[in-house]
Structure 1
Amino acid sequence: MNKMQAVILAAGKSTRTYPLTVNRPKPLLKVLDKTMIEHNLDQLHGLVDEVIIIVGFRKELVMEKLGSFYKGMKLCFAEQKEQLGTGHALETAKPFLKGKFIVLNGDDIYDKKDIAAMLEHDYAILVKEVESVARRFGAVVVKDNKVKEIIEKPAENISKYANTGVFVFKPDIFNIELKKTERGEYELTDFATGLAKKGLLEYEPVKGFWLPVGYPWNYLEANVEMLHRVKAKQIDETAVIEDNVTIKGIVIIGKNTLIKSGTYIEGPVFIGDDCEIGPNAYIRKDTILMDKVRTRAEIVDSVLMDNTTAKHTSYIGHSVIGENCNIAAGTITADYRHDAGSNKTLIKGEKVDTGRKKLGAFIGDNVKLGIGTLIYPGRKIWPNKTTLPGEIVKQDIVD
């Protein structure tokens, strides 16, 4: 009997999530205390025996992070040397595949119960019921418990089901010939479309959760969603909480973290290992402070990645700050429009409506801000950039 296998697609260079992914593959972004790809490996644990990971951009970072085994599952790596689409990426796994297998995107987060349900099928796609697929999702059109067709980001709301990027296939799908798209790529969905035309493709609706991370603010939202799934306060026994600290709600505090006097924390909040918070910090709900963060700031609904410092009075709201950044005294991330409208931001030269009334800044790794830096809502700063004292960031600061 063949062992159950999974394929995780982790080769792409994600430009829509810049500046967070300029220096790293998106699956290596941390959500709370582990990377996105590790979250998915956790969900696969107990369901599959072997995982083939398709690598490409900065492949060495993925391979070094994961090694050859994860919780008893064997890990194999197949390299996609050219970025020719997800269908081409899957074809690089072909030499490893022995029987039925499941395919997942490495940069979304999935629920184990949905993966288990998918494995009951021979050929299937995991779908999510959404309000509208128009211009946002791949639409999965179904009839009589079968998939009829998959249409990428249609102009009209033609189906209630969105494609989540999870499929169950058998190796005979490689008999389906893929055709190059107008973008010069080979798409994974064309394998599924070929099965649908033969009446073979079933679908499984999401019953757990699906956290897609297409844009920088989706990364913030994924962290907040995973934080909300924690149901009890967790304070490590090595953490030190000084007198006159207020902690309300569900708060996670990691190893060797120091919370200094006068700090006020309103959960849900995640604070990682080896952090120094306060004195007199104000950490508001939906804040995620990863390892070795030092801050005395007011922070709300934001992610501060490893080794970032905001040691003086400042305001960080609805933002993501990369690793090894220094947020200088008096920094303010503006996050609300005067007209109370939805914030828009530039993605690859085009304005994208984020659907968020509150939207702060997105700052890459190793950024150093000058004192009194003021940042307009939705602005982005690329890695290794700096600002002058008193600078007002009205436009993205890019390479």
Structure 2
Amino acid sequence: MRTPLLVVLAGGASSRLWPLEEKSLIKFMGRPLLSLQLERYAQLGIEQAVIVANPENRDVIADLVATLPEIETEVVVQPEPKGMGDALLKIRPYLDAHGNQPIYITQVHDLTDIALHQDMLTAYQTGSASSYLAGYRVVDYFPGGYLEVGEGGRITNIIEKPGAGNEPSDLVAIVAHVHTDAARLLDAIQAEYAKPDASDDHYERAMAALMAEHVFQVVPYSGPWQAVKFPWHVLDVMFALLSQIAEPRVSEDAIIEEGVLIKGNVVIEAGARLFHGATVVGPAYIGQGAIVGNNALVRESMVGERSVVGYCTEVARSYLADGVHTHVCQALDSILDDDVNLSASCTTANLRIDHGPVGSTIKGQRVSTGRDKLGLIAGKGAFIGVNVMTMPGVKIGRKSEIGPTTVVQSDVPDGARVWVEQTIQVREQPKG
């Protein structure tokens, strides 16, 4: 049976990820997420892929996949974020050139166990259904699309956010879908676009229409699932990948001075340098050329290439991208994007006084992060001055500057300057 064409959805808008940027290019363990995902599919025998990108990330993704010889990849562009249906229609020219074929639709920002993809491909290879959809087993109500499943696991409908107590099953739809006839699916999507309905669920409506005549089979899944939707989800993916480190690995080209303590499953890449008194507690990752200074502590964190965990700095349960600089400070449950500077004596508060879930403002709406500990999220090139304190869940925009001794209590937009004005009074001492 023909191996399906992998279709990776990597376009769409990333506005909810602010102040971070392109989710498919966020690095984990020194490699972009897209690269890690494609490598896993290659291990399962996938040979060809089409990546649906957007105009902003198209060139970067094209350059990236050119370095991955395991899968023959073509990049197509979705000019505007008009939903999954529109994104899938963009593969039509590829099918016209290469012929109709089965497709396996996934999203770059959904991280699951590789066993799910193996189960999906096995179901496709051994079954007789028209389509196969992954169903994630849940215990508590999840605000997503639920699968209505009949006898033998046949899917009869997808019900979007039915409300607690009205769930048709315990299976939530996640984007791991095999369709044996790509052209038929695209025709059904196109037919939905011809209707006057203004909603953007054309793909889901097309599948619902096809279910009336063709067999859609559920592939249940109860393993781990992390989706990068909001910025704090980067920490979830980080922890998932750190947990997969099976044993310590220290590069021969790393420089480990005397008096360094390394505990647990820790990966230290080439060119990294750990100074006397440094401690790294696993699971943890130290990238190429990174520095962990004297008496610094890194635990359960990722430290990217060329980043500096300076003297007496504590980095706990945090993600530091490439080129981050810190010195005598604390980064707790935080996410610092490329080239962020966290100056001396800075502290990222990560816990509310009432120990309640930390909130965050997303596109003007206050939402719960679901985390009882969350520190700072800083965009690329942000500069945080000495003695700055950030409140739990605060986001600082790209290339923003925070002046010394400032307490940052709310989000700071891109390119802003924030400082505290102070009045200095000098009085002469009374004589005599």
TM-score bracket, normalised by the shorter chain, equals over 0.9
Change (3 A) 1:368 1:181: farther
State the distance in 2 between where 1:26 and 1:239 align: 29
1:102 paired residue number: 104
1:11 paired residue number: 11
Contact kept in structure 1, 2:55 and 2:77, CA below 8 Å: no
**Does the alignment pair 1:163 with 2:162?**
no
Cα distance, 1:207 vs structure 2: 5.4
What is the aligned counterpart of 2:411 among 393, 396, 399?
396
1:37 paired residue number: 34
Read off the aligned partner of 2:48 and give its amino acid letter. Answer: E
Alignment of 1:105-120 (within 5 A): 105-119=107-121, 120=123
Bigger Cα displacement from structure 2, 195-204 vs 41-50: 195-204
Contact kept in structure 2, 1:12 and 1:57, CA below 8 Å: no
Cα distance, 1:62 vs structure 2: 1.3
Alignment of 1:366-377 (within 5 A): 366-377=381-392
**Does the alignment pair 1:295 with 2:283?**
no
Contact kept in structure 2, 1:113 and 1:207, CA below 8 Å: no
Q: When the two structures are superposed, what TM-score results if normalisation uses the length of structure 2?
A: 0.86
Bigger Cα displacement from structure 2, 34-43 vs 382-391: 34-43
Change (3 A) 1:386 1:174: same
State the distance in 2 between where 1:226 and 1:183 align: 39
Cα distance, 1:194 vs structure 2: 2.4
1:64 paired residue number: 63
State the distance in 2 between where 1:347 and 1:388 align: 25
2:320 paired residue number: 304
Change (3 A) 1:373 1:288: same
* 3-state SS of paired residue (1:283): strand
Between the aligned residues of both structures, percent identity stands at: 25
Read off the aligned partner of 1:12 and give its amino acid letter. Answer: G
What is the aligned counterpart of 1:196 among 211, 218, 222?
211
Runs of at least 5 residues in structure 2 that lack an aligned partner in the other structure: 125-129, 415-432
Cα deviation digits, residues 201-225 of structure 1 (max 9, x gap): 1111225543211111111110111
Cα deviation digits, residues 47-77 of structure 1 (max 9, x gap): 222100001141212112222x623311011
Change (3 A) 1:353 1:49: same
Contact kept in structure 2, 1:332 and 1:373, CA below 8 Å: yes
Read off the aligned partner of 1:62 and give its amino acid letter. Answer: I
**Does the alignment pair 1:139 with 2:146?**
yes
Q: When the two structures are superposed, what TM-score results if normalisation uses the length of structure 1?
A: 0.93
Cα distance, 1:235 vs structure 2: 0.5
Change (3 A) 1:78 1:133: farther
Change (3 A) 1:57 1:360: farther
State the distance in 2 between where 1:333 and 1:299 align: 10
- The alignment covers a number of residue pairs equal to 392
* 3-state SS of paired residue (1:37): helix
State the distance in 1 between where 2:109 and 2:305 align: 21
Contact kept in structure 2, 1:43 and 1:110, CA below 8 Å: no
Read off the aligned partner of 2:116 and give its amino acid letter. Answer: D
Cα distance, 1:182 vs structure 2: 7.0
**Does the alignment pair 1:124 with 2:132?**
yes
Bigger Cα displacement from structure 2, 90-99 vs 267-276: 90-99
Cα distance, 1:382 vs structure 2: 1.0
Cα distance, 1:2 vs structure 2: 5.0
Larger Rg: 2
State the distance in 1 between where 2:405 and 2:148 align: 53
Cα distance, 1:165 vs structure 2: 0.9
Greater share of helix residues, 1 or 2? 2
Change (3 A) 1:183 1:295: farther
1:174 paired residue number: 186
State the distance in 2 between where 1:264 and 1:258 align: 12
Cα deviation digits, residues 230-261 of structure 1 (max 9, x gap): 11001011111101111111111001110000
Cα distance, 1:100 vs structure 2: 0.8
Cα distance, 1:319 vs structure 2: 0.8
1:235 paired residue number: 250
* 3-state SS of paired residue (2:403): coil
Read off the aligned partner of 1:168 and give its amino acid letter. Answer: V
* 3-state SS of paired residue (1:216): coil
Cα distance, 1:16 vs structure 2: 1.3
Bigger Cα displacement from structure 2, 138-147 vs 382-391: 138-147
State the distance in 1 between where 2:409 and 2:55 align: 31
State the distance in 1 between where 2:197 and 2:14 align: 19
* 3-state SS of paired residue (2:35): helix
Contact kept in structure 2, 1:36 and 1:108, CA below 8 Å: no
Cα distance, 1:335 vs structure 2: 0.6
Contact kept in structure 1, 2:137 and 2:222, CA below 8 Å: no
State the distance in 1 between where 2:73 and 2:111 align: 18
Bigger Cα displacement from structure 2, 103-112 vs 75-84: 103-112
Cα distance, 1:327 vs structure 2: 0.6
* 3-state SS of paired residue (2:52): strand
Runs of at least 5 residues in structure 1 that lack an aligned partner in the other structure: none
